[in-house]
Structure 1
Amino acid sequence: MAFKPVTITPVHDWNGITSIALQDVDMEMGQISTTLKRLARGFPIPVLFNDQLLECSCALDGGLTFVDTEIGAIYLHGMDQPNGAQYEFDVYLQGLPIYSSHSYTSNRHIIHLDSSRFHARLPDRDKLVDEADVIKRIKAVLAQTIEQRFIQMKTTLSDEEFVGFYEMLRHWELLKLLNDVPVVPPEALREIIAYPVCDTEVFDNFEQQPDKAMTRIEILARGIVSIDDDIKQDGAGRYLFAWSRDYLLYHGTLDSGHWLHSLVRHLNDEELVIETVNESHQAQFQGDWCWVSVRFCDAYQIRLGQDVVEITADACYQGQENADDIIVPKGDSSAQVLQQMASFRSEYDEFQESTFESDSDAFVAFVVANTASDPANAMQRLLPDFCGCPALYGIAFLVELDQQGKPASVIAYPGIGSNANPSYQHE
């Protein structure tokens, strides 16, 4: 790449406009342009580069509304409408950028320090003197300024509009300002919208945030609970209980003095009891990944405190720390309960999709076979595919199972089918 030798020299004309002349310095033109645009962004007087006026959008007279503080002038970004936490900021001294927080976004607070109180390190003036202490002070004053603005906004905005700034209030530790607001931000609530599973990164998420803030009356009408269960370890009972009741879940983020806490029912403080209704039998499922005892019944009841729900359509895994078994009511012939028991992740944290699918297919056949009224139909559901064994095609077999479900004997009937074999006895 060719470089053009230039020199950057400020030239002041009688209108007070600073222009840039280019002479004899080894610098690439694009780099010069980028650097000058950054330096001019907060500059107090207009800057020309190659006869073009550079943007001074962060300058004190650039159209932004600044607040006078003990450290200088501060422009607060993101206070007109909610737009995330808004925690990043740029600092200027005598119009030149001297510090920038994490540069992950272009949406930033702007701070012009009072040059009579703060000084830059000589000769380059690219660092603040005692920078760490100054930045600590800046953050404290910025937080105070944001708090004062929110206190003002609370008197002018509607409740729904004010709680919309939840993310910013949370980041700046100002959630106490919501304590007496009669609506709850949706970020503090969850709804159970689908069958609970143990791993929402692998399987679908069963919780979602409400689409709007909710009033006290709306929350009272539905009820709100907290659950602190790991489904693999503790089972899905409390989640299935809350889902069947359409309870809201508290997300656990509001200030300790918020009025919502008095309405939250903490389900982990109550004993969980699950009882089957008309249990028929138990059987052992042995898949490639999951081995588990399964109890078959018409329904099961989940009891928490004085409340009982009866479930007929969704199986429940009781957790490794509890019974470590699965309860399958008559209304569920799917394999969805395996998603409560295991995430099917390898030791390298990779989802084993083929194993999950094979176990799911096997579990569906297992459930159908164990709930079929006709033993022949159950046997047919459980038989593997023999398409890779042409020597067995067209042959009839008599199969006898022992008390553990293992083949006690298998007899082939010769003369039935074109590939008839002699009788074979397996003990």
Structure 2
Amino acid sequence: MTTTTTLATAPAQIPEQSVVAGVNEKKLFSTMKHLFATSFSLVGELMQNARRSGATQILFNFDPEAKTLEVIDDGCGISDFGKLLALCDSGWDEKVTLADSPYGMGLFSLHFACSRATFRSNGLKLQTSLDDIVNKRQLVAVIDNDPVRLGTVLQLEGLSKDLLGKSIGPHFGRSTANASSRMEACIIELAMGFPIDVQFNGVSVPRPHALENLQTVLTPVGQVHIAHIMARDHDKNVRGDELDVVAGRALYLQGLPIQVKNEIYAQTVVHLDSQRFAAIMPDRKALYNAADQLEELRVTLRTLVQQFLVEQKASLPAETFVAKYWTACLRHDVPTLLNDIPLLPRQIISTIETLAADSESRLGYLPRETEFISWKQILNGEFKVWRDVPSYLGNSEGEQAGALWRVMQLENVVEVDTNGLDAGHWIFEATPSAVDFKVAITHSGIIASDSTYFDDSAVDVHLVKSVQVVVTSTTDPSFEIATAVDRGWILEEVGHDSSGEVTQFKCFVTESGSSWDFPGTLLSSYRDEHEVYREEWEDDARKSWRSVVAGLKGASLADQLAAALPDVRMSLGNHNLGQMALIYGAADGSDPSVQNVSPQMEIVDLNAPEFWLALANLLATAAGGSPEDLKKAFLTAAGSLVPGAGLMANSSTETRIQGSTS
């Protein structure tokens, strides 16, 4: 069978179409309000117009009750009222156009912020409304009966609800903290770096970032002020943020804030060059192509700081330079400035205060009087300094972080933070790296053993007389530190999962001495699912640990009970007065020949008649009535009431049971 496909044929002739771009003006004008970030966009536009007109000041008279805003400037005024309503035709002369690149759109924002606007300038007056704009009515600038001869007066009536709100607190830092309205807060924010006087209801607004109030240097990106550098206030130490040119900086374009929320106490203030930097139209709230423009700014600021640091190193004593500018050298990518200075500042040196998983709890600092550690002090052994010390426990097999921290604590070894230093810094030749360490842990022999858990980590606990830890280096055969641990405890990592993370540990506890810290602080943070520290969890773990250690060290049952009872919640009443109970340390099993038993506690109620009957029968048949005979009779009578305890008053059981009455 043959299938035939037939293609439809095109018409004999298709007429050509002529296309030209067009704009639905009515639709555009009615929806333009969505182009502007907020209703307050008009404030910045009016300030810009005043500056461009050559004004020396701009006044805002705001009456929220009457819903009016009057704006007055002393600039050149309006020469062509027709330009006010011409979209994308700014009306500015060539000089202003070249300097600012005005879009000719911003003034339209005011028609969405009020019901009527009245422009008065050069003896003429023009009234407009949004309805006039949308319907393209022919408007006439009429003779002003009360003519404005200098500058421009703009009167806005029927302000929108957004412009009448109360202040909601500071927006760009603390500058607007005392603003009574959102309008005042907006003007305060916009005026911080503005070049001419700005007044709100008759009071000049502070302009701390205006160029006239700053010491600046001209750079490829514009005028830059970095407080510490330009003010030359070098008598004080530099805080970490004072040479941070990224966080807390203030950026301005044509006098108005852009891109970031400018804080009044910003350490870095930049007035961007409007020939190199452009803003997103129409209301210029953000930089165009911001990522690239901000990177250019970052490189320029970094270069400025780097040049300053080079100058400071050449002029300051080494101690002063390190104390002030160590962090700045690392932050601004000039670590090589530190290579030939034989000093380390105290802020990069840490001591081991206690053994804990949390570095904030574990690490301490040098005494305040020790400001530096020198190359010479390290070389002659006055300070033992290690680098690349493990930052947390159980990171990988063989690392033995817990043991290393204990050695550092006992041997007074400090850790140096080399993060950010140049590879040619002398510290890398003068100190060993823990990455190259091998840790060997030996002990004098196990006396007793038990086991416990901390979170999900299993710990085998062994009582020993002493432990020795030997630390060697795989890259330096001459390096060896042998540390004896004869008081307290030390943790050894012995088991790990498939990812290499350590999950099984041995803890060696010495027969003599004690330590206020315990393995739980290494193996748990005692924080819940919301990262809230739970003190009661740690307290419970400490009590459990003390009980394990006490048992290993042979504490009597009475001593262990005396230590544990204060933490036991019991409800006691008058009916308990005079009552007695006997607690046995009993073997789990009845064969007295078994030596490795699991001790457990058995409780006998001494108010039970059966106990006294059994004791009376034993005493009646006991020979001699000596204290030893009485003890045997007492224990045998109690044992007869413990099912399966297998207690007998003979020499073998005497070594396996203890009694305590309460």
TM-score by length of 2: 0.55
Between the aligned partners of 2:491 and 2:538, the Cα distance in structure 1 is 16
- Structure 1 residues 103 and 185 mapped into 2: Cα distance closer, same or farther (>3 Å)? farther
- Identical residues among aligned pairs (%): 20
Between the aligned partners of 1:41 and 1:408, the Cα distance in structure 2 is 77
2:653 is matched with which residue? none
Once the two structures are TM-superposed, the CA of residue 261 in structure 1 deviates from its matched residue by: 1.6
Equivalent residues in 2 for 1:4-403 (5 A)?
Answer: 4-12=67-75, 23-25=155-157, 26=159, 27-28=163-164, 30-62=181-213, 64-79=214-229, 80=233, 81-85=237-241, 86=244, 87-88=246-247, 89-100=249-260, 106-121=265-280, 123-163=282-322, 164-192=324-352, 194-200=353-359, 204-208=361-365, 211=368, 212-220=371-379, 221-226=382-387, 227-228=389-390, 230-232=392-394, 234-253=400-419, 254-277=421-444, 279-285=446-452, 292-305=459-472, 306-319=480-493, 320-321=495-496, 324-329=505-510, 330-332=512-514, 336-345=518-527, 349=531, 351-372=533-554, 393-396=579-582, 399-402=585-588, 403=596
Once the two structures are TM-superposed, the CA of residue 58 in structure 1 deviates from its matched residue by: 1.5
Between the aligned partners of 2:239 and 2:266, the Cα distance in structure 1 is 9
Deviation readout 1:170-222 (Å, 9 max, x if unpaired): 33223332222222233322122x22112356xx3333366433322344421
- Structure 1 residues 407 and 207 mapped into 2: Cα distance closer, same or farther (>3 Å)? same
Deviation readout 1:19-63 (Å, 9 max, x if unpaired): 99784352337333222223222223333333333322212221x
Once the two structures are TM-superposed, the CA of residue 308 in structure 1 deviates from its matched residue by: 0.4
Between the aligned partners of 1:191 and 1:176, the Cα distance in structure 2 is 26
- Structure with bigger RCO (C-alpha 8 Å, 6+ apart): 1
- Structure 1 residues 172 and 297 mapped into 2: Cα distance closer, same or farther (>3 Å)? same
- Structure 1 residues 379 and 94 mapped into 2: Cα distance closer, same or farther (>3 Å)? closer
Once the two structures are TM-superposed, the CA of residue 238 in structure 1 deviates from its matched residue by: 0.7
Partner AA of 1:401 in structure 2: A
Q: Is the 8 A contact 2:583 2:602 kept in 1?
A: no
Between the aligned partners of 2:413 and 2:551, the Cα distance in structure 1 is 35
SS state at 2:212 partner: coil
- Structure 1 residues 104 and 222 mapped into 2: Cα distance closer, same or farther (>3 Å)? farther
Q: Rg: which structure is higher?
A: 2
Once the two structures are TM-superposed, the CA of residue 82 in structure 1 deviates from its matched residue by: 0.9
Tell me which stretches of 4 or more aligned residues in structure 1 moved more than 6 Å: 18-22, 286-290, 381-386, 408-413
Deviation readout 1:199-254 (Å, 9 max, x if unpaired): 356xx333336643332234442121121263245451111111112111022312
1:405 is matched with which residue? 598
Partner AA of 1:39 in structure 2: L
Once the two structures are TM-superposed, the CA of residue 167 in structure 1 deviates from its matched residue by: 3.3
Q: Is the 8 A contact 2:449 2:552 kept in 1?
A: no
SS state at 2:441 partner: strand
Q: Is the 8 A contact 1:398 1:412 kept in 2?
A: no
Between the aligned partners of 2:541 and 2:374, the Cα distance in structure 1 is 45
Query: Which stretch shows the higher mean deviation, 283-292 or 311-320?
Result: 283-292
SS state at 1:265 partner: coil
Deviation readout 1:58-85 (Å, 9 max, x if unpaired): 12221x2211212222111344441224
Q: Is the 8 A contact 1:235 1:340 kept in 2?
A: no
Partner AA of 2:538 in structure 1: F
Deviation readout 1:96-147 (Å, 9 max, x if unpaired): 32332x6578323111223344444555344444443322211111111111
SS state at 1:140 partner: helix
Q: Is the 8 A contact 1:366 1:382 kept in 2?
A: no
Once the two structures are TM-superposed, the CA of residue 346 in structure 1 deviates from its matched residue by: 5.0
Q: Is the 8 A contact 1:19 1:47 kept in 2?
A: no
Q: Is the 8 A contact 1:41 1:59 kept in 2?
A: yes
Deviation readout 1:340-361 (Å, 9 max, x if unpaired): 2333445665555434323321
Between the aligned partners of 1:231 and 1:424, the Cα distance in structure 2 is 49
Once the two structures are TM-superposed, the CA of residue 155 in structure 1 deviates from its matched residue by: 1.8
Q: Is the 8 A contact 1:93 1:115 kept in 2?
A: yes
- Structure 1 unaligned segments of length 5 or more: list them: none
Query: Which stretch shows the higher mean deviation, 398-407 or 293-302?
Result: 398-407
Q: Is the 8 A contact 1:93 1:114 kept in 2?
A: yes
Once the two structures are TM-superposed, the CA of residue 333 in structure 1 deviates from its matched residue by: 6.3
Between the aligned partners of 2:385 and 2:445, the Cα distance in structure 1 is 32
Between the aligned partners of 1:218 and 1:20, the Cα distance in structure 2 is 73
Q: RMSD over aligned Cα, in angstroms?
A: 3.8
Between the aligned partners of 2:581 and 2:403, the Cα distance in structure 1 is 47
Deviation readout 1:262-306 (Å, 9 max, x if unpaired): 122113312101111354232334789875321112221110123
Q: Is the 8 A contact 1:71 1:114 kept in 2?
A: yes
Partner AA of 1:173 in structure 2: D
- Structure 1 residues 272 and 338 mapped into 2: Cα distance closer, same or farther (>3 Å)? same
Between the aligned partners of 1:191 and 1:286, the Cα distance in structure 2 is 28
2:6 is matched with which residue? none
- Structure 1 residues 209 and 73 mapped into 2: Cα distance closer, same or farther (>3 Å)? farther
How many residues align? The count is: 415
Between the aligned partners of 1:287 and 1:122, the Cα distance in structure 2 is 60
- Structure 1 residues 288 and 405 mapped into 2: Cα distance closer, same or farther (>3 Å)? farther
- Structure 1 residues 179 and 22 mapped into 2: Cα distance closer, same or farther (>3 Å)? farther
Between the aligned partners of 2:225 and 2:288, the Cα distance in structure 1 is 23
Q: Is the 8 A contact 1:237 1:318 kept in 2?
A: yes
Between the aligned partners of 1:260 and 1:334, the Cα distance in structure 2 is 34
